[in-house]
Amino acid sequence: MILCHTIKEVRAAIKEHRKSGCEVAFVPTMGNLHTGHVQLVHEAHEAGDIVVCSIFVNPMQFGPNEDLDAYPRTLEADSEKLTEAGCHILFVPNANEMYPNGIEAQTQVNVPELVEELCGASRPGHFTGVTTVVTKLFNIIQPDIALFGQKDFQQLAVIRKMAADLCMPVEIIGVSTVRAESDLALSSRNGYLTEQELATAPQLYQTLVKIKQAIEKGGKDFDTLCAQGNEELSQLGFTPDYLSVRRQSDLKPAGPDDDELVILAAAHLGKARLIDNIAFALNHN
């Protein structure tokens, strides 16, 4: 695996492969890699010839009171995992390489509407930070294919819309969430949980499953189902942020006649803000 720290180095490393007609599959990450990231790399192998990954804890997508400083940085262990998973080129820029004139002076990429709700409502500016850095990374790497986890369902939707609206020549692939045996969605932020919180955390997904089952049995009052879910989460020790049944297509609130649904949740537990979702189709016949 070739390790590059500068834009110049990574462009030169990719150029060699592109000359021989290789398709480039790209996995952007913030590091502290777990099995979910490794799965993205495996799927990148299936999708393209050359796998490029990036590790960059993007300051632009963190709010002032969020965990930018605490976010785990584990480059050595990450490099080992990526080498083992068969990543060919790893790009690890620093903030100065990505934002040489500072974040305030950085041109921004903003996807309207979709970013205003759910995670966007509780983390103002977050998705602008994501879409700006992903655009920069796409321009640096120029991938044919880019892979993102479905755990960040809204992020995936925002990136798909950005790529479509801006005619970016890249295919966006969403990869299924990888879960622990307990069904807890793998996340770098799970590392903030105490042992006791780790035992509670899978209840977030169980709440989504319960709501899905109620809807499949004919439940149509989504607001009440979510209010009950929030109540149960609070009793378990979570501080719920949102719990909502949405249309998969545009993440607008779902109605009883919609059939492609996704239930999305975010909740704080101890020092961690956990997110999860469950997407499913209803057959109204």
Does 78 bind ligand PAF (CB under 6 A)? Our answer is no
Q: How far is the CB of 152 from ligand PAF (least distance, A)?
A: 5
Q: How far is the CB of 167 from ligand PAF (least distance, A)?
A: 20
The one segment of 40-48, 129-137, 139-147, 271-279 that binds ligand PAF by CB under 6 A: 129-137
The one segment of 27-35, 39-47, 84-92, 189-197 that binds ligand PAF by CB under 6 A: 27-35
Does 128 bind ligand PAF (CB under 6 A)? Our answer is no
Q: Which of 43, 78, 144, 152 binds ligand PAF (CB under 6 A)?
A: 152
The answer to whether the beta carbons of residues 225 and 212 sit under 8 Å apart is no
Q: Which of 7, 134, 162, 173 binds ligand PAF (CB under 6 A)?
A: 134
Task: Indicate if 37 belongs to the active site.
Answer: yes
Q: Nearer Cβ to ligand PAF, position 55 or 262? A: 55
Does 185 bind ligand PAF (CB under 6 A)? Our answer is no
Please give the radius of gyration of the chain, using alpha carbons only, rounded to the nearest integer. 19
Q: Which of 115, 130, 184, 193 binds ligand PAF (CB under 6 A)?
A: 130
Within 10 angstroms of residue 6's Cβ, the number of other Cβ atoms is: 14
Q: What is the DSSP secondary structure assignment for residue 185, as one 8-state letter?
A: B
Q: Nearer Cβ to ligand PAF, position 81 or 210? A: 81
Q: Which of 133, 145, 201, 233 binds ligand PAF (CB under 6 A)?
A: 133
How far, in Å, are 27, 90, 91, 208 from residue 9 at the CA level?
18, 11, 9, 44
* Triad 115, 157, 18: Cα angle to 5°: 120
In 189-257, where do the E strands start and end? Answer: 239-247
The answer to whether the beta carbons of residues 170 and 138 sit under 8 Å apart is yes
Does 30 bind ligand PAF (CB under 6 A)? Our answer is yes
CA distance 242 to 230: 8
Q: Nearer Cβ to ligand PAF, position 39 or 155? A: 155
CA distance 210 to 6: 47
Residues binding ligand PAF: number (CB under 6 A): 10
CA distance 164 to 155: 14
The answer to whether the beta carbons of residues 89 and 7 sit under 8 Å apart is no
Q: Nearer Cβ to ligand PAF, position 70 or 227? A: 70
Within 10 angstroms of residue 212's Cβ, the number of other Cβ atoms is: 20
Q: Catalytic one among 17, 37, 88, 284? A: 37
Q: How far is the CB of 37 from ligand PAF (least distance, A)?
A: 8
The answer to whether the beta carbons of residues 226 and 211 sit under 8 Å apart is yes
Binding site for ligand PAF (CB under 6 A): 28-30, 58, 61, 130, 133-134, 152, 155
**Residues taking part in catalysis:** 37
